[in-house]
Amino acid sequence: MRRPLPLLLLAIGAIYGAWAIAHGSPYTLRVLSVAGIYALLALGYLMIFGQAGALALSSGTFMGIGAYAAGIAAARYGIGFDLALPLAVGLPVLLAALVAIPVLRLQTHYFALATLIISQIALLVATEWVGLTGGANGIGGIGGLTLAGFPIRAGWQSLALVWSAVAVGGWLAARMTGGLAGAGFAVMRADGATARAIGLDTDALRFAAFLASAAYGGFAGALYVHTIRVVSPDVLGFPVMVTCLTIAVVGGRRRVAGAIGGAVLVTLLPEWFRALRDYYLLAYGAILLAVIVLLPEGITEAAETLLARLLRPAPAPLPPALPVPPIAVTRGPLLEIDALTRSFGGLRALDDVSLRLAPGEVLGLIGPNGSGKTTLLNCVTGLYRPDAGRIRFLGADITRLPTHAIARAGLARTFQTVSLVAEMSALDNVAIAVEAASVGLLRALGGTGPQFTRARGIARTLLEAAGAAEVAQLPAGSLAYGIRRRVEIARALALRPRLLLLDEPAAGLNETEQADLAARLRDLAQGGLALLVIEHNMPFLLPLADRMICLDHGRVIASGSPAEIQSDPLVIEAYLGRGAA
């Protein structure tokens, strides 16, 4: 749906900016310039924090390094803002690339603590390296902004340059966080394992987002030092990071308009409350706290929700259905697993497991809870690394391949618990899997609109085949469980797989839904798609499977036709029970 809020904010900002240029004091223009600089910093922060979902505490450091690089170049070597800009942006990006190798592997608060330590190291270096940075006193006498060798005067010229940079930075950020890349980030935030299983390279996305945040931070630092005319360790201090985080939370962490609007609000609020004198900081803090508590998603998302209720915009029309590209016919063994072993501490979840699967075959995998069924699927799809053994798919060894590479090779899966992005439409949940291999920030800069439109057309066809076409434009979180399961299977088929792994697909479905799902799965198998199905529902699985394997305590205890498995004494004893015989 179209979002009117950015256009509304743009109009308000243009009117206010025109008024400030015409009637504002030099101090007002300087404050607005600082607000624009923080907007650039926040635009970079929305990449790693808002889109990638990683709480980084290093954006202030990137801004500080950019400020020091531009400040030292100007004060010591007489290099102007424009000529020093590549250095001011390049150094933070280089630091981010070096730091990303060990740090980006960390998750949640460990990642935040690691980036905080890096920030403290940078602050210590700036304070102690007196010969280069001027120590605690910093460096003064830095010239103003220049562009193509021409000086930019303080006041409206400086303000125009800063906000022109914000406009360009906002446009680039919108390109990098919209379309396919935006949908990819949404899946990654919702569930990293699911994102990798549909072919998204989450490590590359996080890495690119981290570098982008560093580039924006360095650019903001260069503008800052030539606007303030002095650089000191304060620019590397934790308060700068706190301000950036506050802007993201108050404005809206995933919206370009939120980064810009939040920066203006957080910068100007203290100025508006100066008349309260000794109490202005108290009023400022109370308002920010109220916004965070009452509007946890940020002002912009709350405003978008309100406008949507008032204006009731019509959803965009569905794209025309497009044919699904055919899958090449495969001959010979499809999946070969030899002597697979996986342990968790002292527990051996898989113990010398071997199996074969041919194209078009339906293999049922049964066993009691804790027998290693889901662990086997996780090893095959690369979510777990086996301790020993080998996995071959289409004749190639995939034992050590990352999950996204395995998915792109033609091996798709569903999960025991349906994992869809609740706020995304069913159509987009499927469409992102169609073009997962094309998701990336550099590709996004070139525009992915036509690709996403084509992916939606294919996704519509897949949803129709799965019996979920009528919910294509509804948020996935609003769908009934059985429909969500169909959408998840359609998403897995969007990878155009040769092998589909299903983890308890009939769980939570009524008898009618089970019968419909079984019929659709049989049609897929007759078309040449191999299926490996984990299921406890024997009335569902027995008529569907061509062959079955039973696991117990991580070992294969029986293999054969459904009739042979039903009558096997070991299977009866370990799983089916004597009543089943």
Tens digits of per-residue pLDDT, 113-167?
889 999 999 999 999 999 999 999 999 989 889 888 888 988 889 999 999 999 9
Which domains are delineated in the chain? 20-237 (no CATH), 331-410+497-581 (3.40.50.300), 423-492 (no CATH)
Distance (Å, rounded) from C-alpha 51 to C-alpha 183? Answer: 10
Distance (Å, rounded) from C-alpha 31 to C-alpha 535? Answer: 63
**CA triple 195-319-479, angle to 5 deg:** 55
pLDDT at 576 over 70: no
296-307 average pLDDT score: 82
Give me the pLDDT at residue 1, please: 47
pLDDT at 312 over 90: no
C-alpha closest to that of 540 among 556, 524, 562:
562
Ordered strands of the 396-397 beta sheet = 347-357, 335-344, 388-393, 396-397
Contact by Cβ (8 Å): 530, 327: no
Distance (Å, rounded) from C-alpha 71 to C-alpha 236? Answer: 13
User: Which tokens in the block code for residue 1?
Assistant: 């749906």
Give me the pLDDT at residue 3, please: 62
Q: Is 261 exposed, middle or buried (0-12, 13-18, 19+ CB in 10 A)?
A: buried
Over residues 70-124, the pLDDT tens digits come to 999 999 999 999 999 999 999 999 999 998 888 887 777 888 888 999 999 999 9
- The residue type at 18: A
Radius of gyration of the chain from its Cα atoms, rounded to whole angstroms = 28
Give me the pLDDT at residue 291, please: 81
Give me the pLDDT at residue 581, please: 47
Angle, helices 256-272/280-294, rounded to nearest 10 degrees: 150
pLDDT at 575 over 80: no
C-alpha closest to that of 418 among 429, 409, 428:
429
Look at 320 and 379; give whichever has higher pLDDT. 379
User: Which tokens in the block code for residue 313?
Assistant: 């915009």
Helix (H, G, I), strand (E, B) or coil at 52: coil
Look at 349 and 578; give whichever has higher pLDDT. 349
Give me the pLDDT at residue 72, please: 95
399-427 average pLDDT score: 93
Over residues 486-528, the pLDDT tens digits come to 999 999 999 999 999 999 999 888 999 999 999 999 999 998 8
Query: What number of helices (H) and strands (E) belong to the chain?
Result: 24, 12
Contact by Cβ (8 Å): 581, 566: yes
57-82 average pLDDT score: 93
Over residues 245-270, the pLDDT tens digits come to 989 988 888 889 899 999 998 898 88
pLDDT at 4 over 90: no
C-alpha closest to that of 341 among 331, 353, 329:
353
Helix (H, G, I), strand (E, B) or coil at 174: helix
pLDDT at 17 over 80: no
**pLDDT band at residue 577 using 50, 70 and 90 as cut-offs:** low
Ordered strands of the 411-413 beta sheet = 411-413, 499-503, 530-534, 362-366, 547-552, 555-560
Give the chain's mean pLDDT. 89
Q: Where are the alpha helices (DSSP H) in 178-201?
A: 179-190, 192-197
* Residue that has been written with the tokens 């996080």 in this structure: 206
Over residues 313-366, the pLDDT tens digits come to 667 788 888 888 877 667 778 999 999 999 998 889 999 999 999 999 999 999
Angle, helices 26-45/5-23, rounded to nearest 10 degrees: 150
